[in-house]
Structure 1
Amino acid sequence: MISERLKAARPPLSDLFAGAILWGIQMLASAMAALYLRNGMETAHVRDLAMHYFAGGLLAWPFMLPLGRFFAHRRSLATRFAAFFAALAVGTILMTAFLFAMDYRVFYSAWHASFGSLTWVFQFVFTGASAVYQFAVLGIRLFLPLGLLCLFGTSIALAKRMR
């Protein structure tokens, strides 16, 4: 049973690569639309935000598509939809938050202790946690409203495509 699920979870390479690019573009469009609606894209960090949201979608897709397929295997249409919806939503948010955390780490590394020391570990953990918290408070909003529509449409398409 598990081996059958694992086999079904492996998507074709074209779905992984093309899907990753398309999902990244959708997340980029979502962030840019939200920035435009909120403040006319008047921020000094538009390029950085665009890269983070595109990369978050691009890098989340290859992990979340197989996960969604694993949980959707031989399930009803509604369950397949829910599996893809949950996997893509959680995975994209987590990957984008991770990228923000690594960006913070790069910025603050000039003031951090030497690599591998106990102080460095605390600084690394708390810098990452601060970045993830800030992303949760401020960054998730850039996935709305367009990102939610993209998530809904993509999840329906994936659920219908997988039988």
Structure 2
Amino acid sequence: MISERLKAARPSLSELLIGALLWGAQMLTSAMAALYLRNGMETAHVRDLAILYFVGGLLAWPFMLPLGRFFAHQRSLETRFAAFFVALAAGTILMTAFLFAMDYRVFYSAWHAPFGSLTWVFQFAFTGASAVYQFAVLGLRLFLPLGLLCLFGTSFALAKRMR
């Protein structure tokens, strides 16, 4: 049973590569559309945000597609849709927040203690937690409204495609 699910969860290389590029492009488009709607893209960090949201989607896809397929295997259309919806939403948000936290960490590392020290561990943990919190408050809204539509459409397409 588990081996059958694992086999069904394995996507082809083209599904991984093309899907990752398309999902990254959708997240990039979502972020840029949200920035345009909110403030006409009047920010000095448009390029950095574009890269962050594209790479967040790009790197989330190869992990979340197999996970969604694993939970969707031999289920009803509604359950397959829910599996892909939850996997893609959670994975994309977590990957983008992680990348934001690592960028945040790189910026503040100049003021941190030497690598490996106990102080460094605390600074790393709290800098990361602060970055994730800041992303949750400010960054999640860049997935709306277009990212939610992309999520619905992509989840539905994946659910219909998988039998």
TM-score, reference length from structure 1? 1.00
CA distance in 1, matches of 2:5, 2:124: 37
Identity among equivalent positions (%) equals 89
User: In the alignment, what sits opposite 1:123?
Assistant: 123
The alpha carbon displacement at 1:117 in A equals 0.3
The number of equivalent residue pairs is 163
CA distance in 2, matches of 1:92, 1:146: 14
Where structure 2 has 5 or more consecutive residues not aligned to the other structure, the ranges are: none
Alignment of 1:36-75 (within 5 A): 36-75=36-75
User: In the alignment, what sits opposite 2:91?
Assistant: 91
- RMSD of Structure 2 on Structure 1 (CA): 0.3
User: In the alignment, what sits opposite 1:82?
Assistant: 82
Residue 75 of structure 1 aligns to a residue in which SS?
coil
CA distance in 2, matches of 1:55, 1:123: 25
The alpha carbon displacement at 1:131 in A equals 0.3
TM-score, reference length from structure 2? 1.00
Could you report, residue by residue, the CA deviation over 1:73-130 in whole angstroms, capped at 9, with x for unpaired residues?
0000000000000000000000000000000110000000000000000000000000
User: Structure 1 segments of 4 or more deviating over 6 A?
Assistant: none
The alpha carbon displacement at 1:18 in A equals 0.2
CA distance in 2, matches of 1:157, 1:54: 20
Residues 1:114 and 2:114 aligned together:
yes
